[in-house]
Structure 1
Amino acid sequence: MDVVDILEKSLEILKAYPLCDSCLGRLFAQMGYALENWERGFSIKTMLHMKLVTLFRQGVDVTTDLKSLARIHKPTRRFLSTIGITVEEAQCYICGGLLSNVERFAKEAVSKVDGIEFETFAVGTTIPREILERESEVVKKFLVSTGESIKHEINRRIGKELLRLLGRRVDKQRPNILIKIDLINGKIDIVKNPLLIEGVYLKLSRRISQAKKFGNVKSSLLEKLQYIRDMYGGVEHIIHVSGREDSDARMLGPGRPLVVEIKQPTKYKGLPHLYSDGDVIFIPLGFTTRDEVRKLKEKAKTDIKLYRALVYSDRPLSEEELRKLAELSGKTVVQYTPRRIKRLNPRKKRTRMVYEIVWRFISSHVFELYVRCQGGLYVKEFIHGDGGRTTPSVAEILNTYLEVLELDVLSIE
């Protein structure tokens, strides 16, 4: 499409609909470069004005075209008034004047983010449905294929003004805050997106749970990580963990991956410090995303874990008998939900692999086990059998009642 085509098509559109500079220019947004839509529309109208006035002075009857242009072009109205023709200014058919100063919403939004320490933002707008319908009507009627949507223009213009006023980066994928502007009622809301901090933790106590306190549990990992919520000024924090160990099991070795989610923070800068109190060690590693949280939880099902267990046998065992445990290496273990948690789903069945099992004889009634297995294996039940709900089990192979005295997670691969 060349300049002549643009002028001819624009005149046809303006004869049918009065459009402001922005709404006319937006129909040709894909043409030209580094121009705002209002600049395109202003230029098109100026060229049309020059062309039509020249034709009129040459004796061509273009009065109707001049009147159509004059509805939304002041210089053309002035020209017509010199020849005794008065034309009333019309409101833009598409936006109704909304785009004349849409940047004003950016100025109002700036006061709303006061007190929030953020680095990135995005803009979202709600536009009156009738405006979108009128734009669609014009685009379809004149088969416009070179434009952009009014919503895109509004978001871009407000975002550009906010960029200038705030001096922060725009991030459409993962912004710290989302500035929501309702152009129907003029309401502006600030959505503070959660902050996700990844790290690893070690649990050195046998009286610390992950989230809930119960029984002889003295504290929880969630409770101890409250300092992170406070640091970022959040209203709540939750944790996402790659698997779970019992409250009486220690988490040793390089630690277990964890993500702390801070809801509605007022600060998005700076990493928390390492936490250590003798019971728990948390090592923050950096900021992460919701996608990585999903991967973390999925990975827990396929992780390979190494456990150490101290086991008591009701009857005395010999080293020779413990050698029978070799047959459990490479076995698939079938487990129904353990009795201690069967209230959740008593008949749920899972299968997990035991890759390797090693033992150390301590005394006739006590031995140590090292179990390398697939994530999700109920290790305690694998050892004592859970009354037959887990098979095969260590107790089944040794034909004795077993009790797990201590359990530690040594590594997660």
Structure 2
Amino acid sequence: MGMNEQVKAILAYGETCDHCLGRFFGKRSHGLSNDERGRGLKIALALEENQPYKKFAGTCWVCGNFFDDVPLWADRVIYATKDIEFSTFLAGCRVPPMIAENEEMVWSDLSLAEPEPFKSEVNREVGKAVSARTGKVVDFKKPEVVTILDPATGGVEVQINSVFFYGRYQKFERGIPQTHWDCRACKGAGCEKCNFTGAQYLDSVEELIGRPVIEMFNAENAILHGAGREDIDARMVGTGRPFILEVVSPRKRSIDLAELEKTINSTAGGRISVAIRRWADRAEVETLKSNKAHKKYRILVEVDGEIAADEFAKAVKTLEGVTIYQRTPERVAHRRADKVRERTVLGIECVGEQDGKFIVEVLGEAGLYIKELVSGDSGRTRPSLAEILKRSARVTSLDVTQVEGAQEGE
């Protein structure tokens, strides 16, 4: 079937606007909009049949003259996003089932090889109209805002994409978890046990960083993505732990990171501290989480009974470079798979004494359980310091002093 025959067949379904007719041949020729293409096809048919050309003035059986309303949809998008700061966007559309069915019927009946879907043209035409009026740029890959048109309701739904920044945090106070924990009793709903806060702990590193961030960005939420995590009773000192903070649905974007860092640190009251390095993106979150970083710890070790400092130091040194077999510790068994992990002690030494306890510095491969390296965890970790000393030993305080494996470009 030639093109003119296909055009006649399409027009036989009913009155068809230039946009929709042109879209059925949307990938034919370049440098034309669909309405120009459709008008050209109607002119070519009129010339071939030596009939008068009639400008379209009816109601399109495919789209119901949707494209007459492109300026109105542009108005709606501009109104829906008026309080949001953004420079790039993408227009999307929920296609009414009737329109989808109409065009798919023609594709199938006439075996059309090069049509463009209704959705693509709507997104492009509304995007162009919004861009022309606002100076905002259409971005198909990483738009800051996505607007979804819903012709069925006349509404516009707005999705604001997250922003991300990368930095390091220090935690100076024990007892603060890394991320928000819902109350175990009520699962976050609020009850007497949690004083109706819904939280197991009133503060977390995530919230101490996130609260001022949410306010400054006028955002819905802030999610902390850390390079590993420290125990709730450990401090994170020294060089700090790398993190990326995801700012969810920010209505403001042009925030000065130096000013943000200052605000976070002043509101944290010395409990945590952040050094914000730069902006980041979503792809880096996965890299941060998958990079297995070596960690350096400073611990206080208490040993049962009397032991000479040099004997203790010698026993500690025998663990250096050794592969440790650790069955999942009892303390984390409720949230970790029960298996044996092999981890290496990269460096370890006793560096002093404090209050009858020994100060030990350990550089461990990612995932090495430090408390169990000392205590043996009832034989679940071997070898252990307690096994070498042939007496009970335990960690009474633990600080993380260094997390290696920093992000590129820090």
Q: CA deviation at 1:207?
A: 4.8
* Distance (Å, rounded) in 2 between the aligned partners of 1:74 and 1:242: 64
1:283 to 254, 275, 282: 275
Where does structure 1 lack aligned partners over 5 or more consecutive residues?
A: 54-65, 76-88
How far did residue 230 of structure 1 move?
0.7
Secondary structure of 1:209's partner?
coil
| Structure 1 CA distance for aligned equivalents of residues 376 and 100 of structure 2 | 65
Correspondent of 1:366 among 336, 348, 357: 357
Match of 2:401 in 1: 410
Q: Deviations over 1:107-141 (max 9, x none)?
A: 11211112111222211211112211221221233
Structure 2 match to 1:79: none
Question: 1:258-316: CA deviations, max 9, x gaps?
Answer: 122223321122243224343322122333333322222222xx221121222222223
Q: 1:233 to 1:90 in 2, by over 3 A?
A: closer
Equivalent in 201, 215, 234 of residue 249 of structure 1: 234
Displacement of 1:343 after TM fit?
A: 4.1
1:90: Cα distance to partner?
Answer: 5.4
Matching residue of 1:297: 289
Within 5 Å, give how 1:9-28 maps onto structure 2: 9-15=6-12, 17-28=14-25
Change (3 A) 1:145 1:400: same
Q: Aligned to 2:296, which of 294, 306, 309?
A: 306
Given that 2:216 and 2:255 are in contact with CA atoms closer than 8 Å, whether structure 1 keeps it comes out as no
How far residue 190 of structure 1 moved from its aligned partner, in angstroms, is 1.3
In structure 2, what residue type is equivalent to 1:221? V
- Report the AA paired with residue 108 of structure 1: R
Matched residue type, 1:159: G
Query: What is aligned with 1:149?
Result: 117
Query: Are the equivalent residues in 2 in contact too, given 1:382–1:394 (CA < 8 A)?
Result: yes
- Cα offset, 1:212, TM superposition: 4.8
What is the identity, as a one-letter code, of the residue corresponding to 1:27?
A: F
Q: CA deviation at 1:21?
A: 0.4
The 5 Å alignment of 1:109-148 reads 109-148=77-116
1:21-60 → structure 2 map (5 Å cutoff)? 21-53=18-50
Contact 2:70/2:129 (<8 A) preserved: no
Asked if 1:322 corresponds to 2:316, the answer is no
Question: Are 1:224 and 2:238 counterparts?
Answer: no
Match of 1:239 among 196, 214, 224: 224
Instruction: State how far apart, in whole Å, the 2-side matches of 1:310 and 1:154 are.
Output: 65
What RMSD, in angstroms, separates the aligned Cα atoms of the two structures?
3.0
**Alignment-derived partner of residue 86 in structure 1:** none
Corresponding residue for 2:186?
Answer: none
In structure 2, the CA distance between the partners of 1:150 and 1:252, relative to structure 1 (3 Å rule), is same
Partner residue, 1:335: 326
State the match for 2:169 in structure 1. 201
TM-score (norm 2): 0.82
Deviations 1:46-89 (A, max 9, x none): 23323433xxxxxxxxxxxx5xx97xx338xxxxxxxxxxxxx7
- What is the Cα deviation at residue 175 of structure 1? 2.2
**Runs (5+) with no aligned partner, structure 2:** 184-193, 195-200, 405-410
State the Cα distance separating 1:349 from its structure 2 match. 4.6
Counterpart of 1:177 (choices 124, 145, 164) is: 145
Q: Distance in 1 between matches of 2:90 and 2:306?
A: 68
Cα distance between partner residues in 1 of 2:205 and 2:7: 66
Q: Which structure: larger Rg?
A: 1
Structure 1 pair 246/104, CA: closer, same or farther in 2 (3 Å)? Answer: same
Q: How many residues align?
A: 379
Q: 2: CA distance between counterparts of 1:227 and 1:177?
A: 23
